[in-house]
Structure 1
Amino acid sequence: MLVFDIPLHPPHQTWHIATPGGSHRTFEARHDAVAFAAKLAARLDGAAGRAYLSIEGEDGKWRLFTPDLKAPLQT
């Protein structure tokens, strides 16, 4: 299972998304980081098990999403 964490306010307002190959991509906008992680998760989902996005909300709670970002998963 792969999980891509996307915080609300990362250090220095820079979002980093690590790829399974060991590299990472850096984004200056949270929206861009979420879009990249969703596309990557969709590509990897099934090939390496399940892939999810864990996104921190404004209330400080982390919610788990599938690559389609339609609704948080019930845990």
Structure 2
Amino acid sequence: MRVFDIPLHPPGDTWRVSQLDGWHHSFDGRPGAVSFAEKLAARLESTDGGAYLSIEGEDGKWRLFTPALKAPV
């Protein structure tokens, strides 16, 4: 299983999403990082034990989401 972490305020205000091959993509905004991670997770959903997004809320709590951005069942 793979989990993509999306913080609320990353260091340097640059959101990074790492791919399985070790490369990462950088984004100036959180929406771009979430969208990219969502697409990566959707591709991995049926392989490698699945993938999820862990997104930090404004309250500082981390919440887990499926590639469809829904809470896992």
TM-score of the alignment, normalized to the shorter chain, above 0.5? yes
State the match for 1:73 in structure 2: 72
TM-superposed CA distance for 1:31, in Å, is 0.2
Give unpaired runs (5+ residues) of structure 1.
Answer: none
> In the alignment, does 2:26 pair up with 1:8?
no
1:27-68 alpha-carbon deviations (Å, 9 max, x no partner): 001000000000000011111111000000000000000000
TM value normalised by structure 2: 0.95
Give unpaired runs (5+ residues) of structure 2.
Answer: none
State the match for 1:39 in structure 2: 39
Please report the RMSD computed on the Cα atoms of aligned residues, expressed in angstroms.
1.0
Q: What is the number of residues matched between the two proteins? A: 73
Identity %: 63
State the match for 1:49 in structure 2: 49
- 4+ long deviations beyond 3 Å: none
Residue type of the alignment partner of 2:48: A
TM value normalised by structure 1: 0.92
